[in-house]
Amino acid sequence: MSTVTEPMNRTADPVLSVRDLRVWYGTERGPVRAVDGVSFDVRPGETLGLVGESGCGKSTLGRGVLGLTPAAAAVDGDVRLNSKGGAGRNLTELSDREIQQLRGPELGLIFQEPMTRLNPLMRISQHFEEALHTHHKGLPKKEVKARALEALRGMGIPESRYENYPHEFSGGMRQRIMIALALVLRPAFIVADEPTTALDVLVEAQIIRILADLRKNFDTSLVLITHNLGIVAEACDRVAVMYAGHIVEQGDARTVFADPQHPYTKELLRSTISLSTTGLHFIPGSPPDLVQPPEGCRFHPRCPVAMVGCATVEPPEVTLPSGVRSTCWQQAVEVDPSLADELGTGGREPLAAVKEISVADEA
Amino acid sequence: MSNTSKQSGSLRRYVLTRIALAVPMVLILLVLVFVMMRVAPGDPISASQGGKLNAAELAARRHAAGFDAPLYQQFWDYLKSVATLNFGTTFSDRRSVRDIIVENGGATLTLTAGALVFAAVIGIPVGLLAGRYRDRAVDVTSRLFSTVSYAAPVFVTAPLLMLAFGSTSGQASPLVQLNVPTQTHILILDAALAGDWDAVGDITQHLILPSVSLGLLVVGVFIRMIRINLIQSLQGDYIEAARARGVKERHVVARHGFRNALVPVITVLGLQVAMLLGGAVLTEQIFNWPGIGRQLIDYINQRDYVAVQGIVTVFALVVVVISMLIDFVNALIDPRVRY
């Protein structure tokens, strides 16, 4: 994948700058390329929505940034954290101890299933004491409690519940406690990994509102991983669409939703369900095997507008006039017709037509 | 539910409920012990006098001892003896079972405590290491060791240990006669209280082999339970969440991993105490250890079912009480247990 052709309009320097991040899992069949060369930026107070099908590498991407991948995973690339504590260091090159010290005060993670994320033997107060004492040694007890209660109050958890155990709370309350537990350390950057998937819709709306308020109150940058496109439209400034370990399209959330460019984004948006939906749309085929991903564009076997060249040559990422970046030959040749040479002769013929001919020949 | 005073109240309620539930359990247990004694063949009189006396005289002796009384009458006497904590008077040598417990209980207590200490000192660290370093050399070795240790019965390990470390004859050397005032009936404590440190050392020396033999019976279970529970708890979602907050790795393992792994282990510990008491009977016999277990075997040989019934009852009550205490400890550690 080629690098960014043109810098985006930037209002502030990004808090987190990811370039060519790769996270591969070792398995018996060979490496699984869960995240395979991903680049994006997150600016202060910005919310980036990360969407895509299950298994496209969204969660792995979030964990890769925080250095929380399992021992069998290899992480490579450049992840610059430009917050005060991050000091522009490349997170993938830090020692276990160094990244551990950044997790909490600089990098936060909110999880998908809040029910099991709190230690059942520890009171809520003990969770806060542990988090605060780990990163602020010698913080007086009174101060710890004051800060913990402040964070909990912000999430609507009353002071009287401070000494309770996790099992005494509902799922929605536990997720709010988890968020308070992440926020109490005031990290510059938070990954929220499908924070509402396990919760009912009313609680979901509440949590999303809390997350959307974060940037106003704390200037916190957020990567919101979700497969719910409605949440992205509601809560995100920008959106990045992932497919098979790649980001295929990213840009301003409204622009992308109003006028999706990449065929995968178009198909994804067509697949959403609304009250006006009459027949369910789905994308034929299934996500590719990440041990042996398809050659060329990884989406070409399922792409309705694939060209012959898409099956062999990987598409470059191009920036469109709207500022949206897309990784698709359709847009690439539009933006820069000279790129068409790379597709080879006859490379722009529709792939579907060629397939039909070859089938007919055999018959 | 929402404040501390109410929480301690729920712990109190849990304890009271648990005690109330123990009452029917104890009753069922007493019936079982009583019935088992009555269905076993033989009685003390025919055991000691059978063949020497004619049938009429035997019947007369049995009547005098009350062995021909109706079962409900005998059961009522049994219940009374348990309620007064007297547990009956032995037929063969006219001792109160309570006296046997008081005089020999200390030795059994010392032995089982020694075994438990051995099992804990070896089992907990090895189990934790095996779980932490799963599939490495320490784990594989410990799995092999624990399988062998809990598969081998006391009557195999004890003579082997004696051959290896004790006297070559395979016989345990008897304890030297001690001249210390009896205060607690626990020999090692009495010796320590009297300031006789040579005696303490001698008793400790004699304690090691029996404790190890008995401890080997449960150490394997300890290792495997702790190992598997640590592996499971280290995969817990709250472990990853703690890491995501930047908690130090050694705190993640100790505070979040180990503590959660110990909850089920404590429950098993309660069951292992019953196992230890059973094993103590054999161990005391093999090592000539002056505990209740050895007394029990003597009385069984004499068909003294009042004595056997009394001692078995005490063993059963000890197991009930210990499993209850274990439940209380669990409730203290794990708030979810208190409902």
- ipTM comes to 0.83
- Which helix H or strand E contains A332, and what residues bound it? helix A329-335
- Which helix H or strand E contains B164, and what residues bound it? helix B154-165
CA distance A128 to A149: 9
pLDDT at position B191 = 80
Tokens standing for B224? 């495997």
Q: Does pLDDT of B41 surpass 90?
A: no
- pLDDT tens digits along A17-43: 999 999 998 888 888 989 999 999 999
A90 strand-pairing partners: A80
User: Residue B192's pLDDT band (boundaries 50, 70, 90)?
Assistant: confident
Q: Does pLDDT of A76 surpass 80?
A: yes
- By C-alpha distance, the chain B residue nearest A158 is B2
The C-alpha of B274 sits at a distance from chain A's nearest C-alpha, in angstroms, of: 28
The residues near A360 (Cβ < 8 Å, ≥ 6 apart) are none
CA-nearest of B130, B146, B148 to B229 is: B130
Q: Does pLDDT of B242 surpass 80?
A: yes
Residues 243-272 in B contacting A (C-alpha not used; CB under 8 Å) = 243-249, 251, 255-256, 259-260, 263
Closest partner residue to A134 (CB to CB) among B3, B246, B263 is: B246
Cα torsion angle, B239, B243, B245, B249, sign: positive
Q: Would you call B4 and A134 a contact, using CB atoms and an 8 Å cutoff?
A: no
Q: What is the DSSP letter of B88?
A: -
CA distance A128 to A104: 12
Cβ neighbours of A96 in B, within 8 Å: 249
Note the pTM of the prediction, 2 decimals: 0.79
CA-nearest of B88, B84, B107, B108 to B97 is: B88
> Could you tell me the fold of the domain covering B101-295?
MetI-like fold (1.10.3720)
A137 at B interface, C-beta within 8 A = no
B336 at A interface, C-beta within 8 A = yes
pLDDT at position A357 = 55
The C-alpha of B3 sits at a distance from chain A's nearest C-alpha, in angstroms, of: 7
Please provide the DSSP assignment of A237-304 as one string.
SEEEEEETTEEEEEEEHHHHHHS--SHHHHHHHHT---TT--S----SS-PPPSSSPPSSSTTGGG-T
The C-alpha of A119 sits at a distance from chain B's nearest C-alpha, in angstroms, of: 5
Closest partner residue to A134 (CB to CB) among B247, B260, B334 is: B247
The C-alpha of B281 sits at a distance from chain A's nearest C-alpha, in angstroms, of: 38
Q: Would you call B260 and A121 a contact, using CB atoms and an 8 Å cutoff?
A: yes
Query: What's the mean per-residue pLDDT of chain B?
Result: 84
Secondary structure (H, E, C), A88-121: CEEHHHCCHHHHHHHECCCEEEECCCHHHCCCCC
Q: Does pLDDT of A292 surpass 90?
A: no
- pLDDT tens digits along A91-135: 888 888 899 999 999 999 999 888 899 999 999 999 999 999 999
The C-alpha of B2 sits at a distance from chain A's nearest C-alpha, in angstroms, of: 6
B5 at A interface, C-beta within 8 A = no
Mean pLDDT for the stretch of residues A198-211: 83
Cβ neighbours of A185 in B, within 8 Å: 245-246
Domains and CATH numbers, chain A: 16-254 (3.40.50.300), 294-362 (no CATH)
Mutate: best of B132, B243, B245, partner A, most A CBs <10 A: B245
The C-alpha of B242 sits at a distance from chain A's nearest C-alpha, in angstroms, of: 8
What three-state secondary structure class fits A18? Answer: strand
What count of residues does chain B have?
Answer: 339
Q: Would you call B245 and A163 a contact, using CB atoms and an 8 Å cutoff?
A: no
Q: Does pLDDT of A280 surpass 70?
A: yes
A250 strand-pairing partners: A240, A325
CA distance B256 to A116: 13
CA-nearest of A82, A75, A129 to A102 is: A82
CA distance A135 to A108: 13
User: Residue B4's pLDDT band (boundaries 50, 70, 90)?
Assistant: very low
Q: Does pLDDT of B148 surpass 80?
A: yes
pLDDT at position B3 = 42
A314 strand-pairing partners: none
Q: Would you call B244 and A108 a contact, using CB atoms and an 8 Å cutoff?
A: yes
Residue B126 phi, psi (nearest 5): -65, -45
Residue A318 phi, psi (nearest 5): -125, 150
Closest partner residue to A161 (CB to CB) among B2, B251, B255 is: B2
Which residues in chain B are classed under CATH 1.10.3720.10? 101-295
Mean pLDDT for the stretch of residues B242-259: 90
Cβ neighbours of A130 in B, within 8 Å: 242, 245, 247, 251, 255
CA distance B288 to A226: 70
- CA angle, residues A338, A341, A347, in degrees to nearest 5: 130
Please provide the DSSP assignment of A50-69 as one string.
EE--TTSSHHHHHHHHHT--
Give the CA diameter of chain A: 81
Q: Does pLDDT of B7 surpass 60?
A: no
Q: Does pLDDT of A210 surpass 60?
A: yes
Q: Does pLDDT of A340 surpass 50?
A: yes
Q: Would you call B246 and A118 a contact, using CB atoms and an 8 Å cutoff?
A: no
The C-alpha of A29 sits at a distance from chain B's nearest C-alpha, in angstroms, of: 21
Q: At what angle do helices A201-218 and A171-183 cross, to 10 degrees?
A: 10
Q: Is A13 exposed, middle or buried (0-12, 13-18, 19+ CB in 10 A)?
A: exposed
CA-nearest of B121, B105, B312, B102 to B211 is: B121
pLDDT at position A320 = 92
A184 at B interface, C-beta within 8 A = no
Q: What is the DSSP letter of B173?
A: P
Mean pLDDT for the stretch of residues B264-281: 86
Q: In 3-state terms, chain B is what percent helix, strand and coil (to 5)? A: 80, 0, 20
Least confident stretch, A81-90, A313-322, B254-263? A81-90
Closest partner residue to B241 (CB to CB) among A100, A117, A161 is: A117
Q: Would you call A121 and B259 a contact, using CB atoms and an 8 Å cutoff?
A: yes
CA-nearest of B337, B332, B327, B329 to B18 is: B327
The residues near B275 (Cβ < 8 Å, ≥ 6 apart) are B217, B218
From the centroid of its chain, how far is CA B72? 31
CA distance A318 to A324: 8
Measured CA to CA in angstroms, residue B254 lies from A2, B63, B260 at distances of: 46, 65, 9
pLDDT at position B10 = 78
Measured CA to CA in angstroms, residue A352 lies from A173, A283, A332, A355 at distances of: 51, 15, 20, 5
Q: Does pLDDT of A271 surpass 70?
A: yes
Q: What is the CA radius of gyration of chain B?
A: 24
Least confident stretch, A4-13, A34-43, A213-222, B254-263? A4-13
pLDDT at position B48 = 67
CA-nearest of A91, A73, A78 to A23 is: A73
How many Cα neighbours within 13 Å face the side chain of B47? 14
Q: Does pLDDT of A8 surpass 50?
A: no
Q: What is the CA radius of gyration of chain A?
A: 22
A149 at B interface, C-beta within 8 A = no
The residues near B142 (Cβ < 8 Å, ≥ 6 apart) are B126, B127, B129, B130, B223, B227
